[in-house]
């Protein structure tokens, strides 16, 4: 007895971001994709009501994400930014981001040559998430990175209080995770 084969295709969402994941996954020859999720904190938080408005204490914040292809073959890389706070809270529980609705400027593909490196910093994130008023607001986001090649990804976080007394710097190495995309074929 034949079954309705269109159901599987009906459940499969179509969006350029999801299509790029599928293409990259297919090119990975069933090895899967290495994925990385990096927290981004950029900008100035001046308000005193930090707990409910912005999620940070008053201060200046910056993030730099370093990506290196420590392989002897080129690495296609898919990157996209999901906003949590951009001057105002955008995705606090129960609200969530919708990767299938990201504007094109928030999705980027690059190819890293063997042993090459690049970075995304607050200036690059501001390009991907333009401010509605022109002045860059406090931005908290997730930078997602995917590649069929395992990469070295680190994040450098700096913060200092508004009074200028001291600076905090922290470097985190971001572990890879394997991304499973439904059965093919």
- Structural domain spans, the chain: 12-176
pLDDT in tens, 23-45: 766 666 667 789 999 999 999 88
Q: Mean pLDDT for the chain?
A: 83
pLDDT band of 7, cuts 50, 70, 90? very low
pLDDT in tens, 136-184: 789 999 999 999 999 999 999 999 998 888 999 999 999 999 876 655 4
pLDDT in tens, 68-111: 999 999 999 999 999 999 888 888 888 899 888 888 899 999 99
Strand-pair category, 59-68 with 75-86 = unpaired
pLDDT band of 3, cuts 50, 70, 90? very low
Q: Exposure of 108 by Cβ count < 10 A (0-12 exposed, 13-18 middle, 19+ buried)? A: middle
40 φ, ψ (degrees, to nearest 5): -115, 130
Q: Exposure of 129 by Cβ count < 10 A (0-12 exposed, 13-18 middle, 19+ buried)? A: buried
pLDDT at 55 over 80: no
Measure the CA angle with vertex 64, ends 68 and 97; round to 5°: 100
């Amino acid at each position: 007895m034949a079954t309705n084969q269109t159901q599987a295709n009906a459940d499969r969402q179509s969006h350029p971001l999801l299509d790029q994941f599928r293409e990259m996954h297919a090119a990975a020859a069933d090895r899967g994709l290495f994925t990385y999720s990096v927290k981004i904190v950029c900008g100035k938080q001046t308000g005193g009501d930090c707990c409910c408005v912005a999620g940070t204490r008053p201060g200046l914040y910056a993030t730099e994400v370093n990506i290196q292809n420590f392989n002897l073959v080129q690495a296609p890389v898919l990157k996209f930014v999901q906003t949590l706070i951009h001057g105002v809270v955008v995705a606090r529980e129960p609200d969530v981001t919708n990767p299938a609705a990201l504007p094109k400027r928030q999705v980027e593909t690059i190819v890293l040559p063997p042993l090459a490196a690049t970075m995304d910093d607050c200036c690059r994130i501001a390009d991907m998430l333009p401010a509605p008023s022109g002045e860059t607001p406090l931005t908290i986001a997730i930078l997602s990175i995917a590649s069929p090649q395992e990469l070295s990804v680190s994040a450098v976080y700096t913060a200092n209080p508004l009074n200028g007394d001291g600076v905090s710097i922290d470097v985190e190495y971001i572990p890879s995770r394997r991304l499973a995309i439904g059965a093919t074929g």
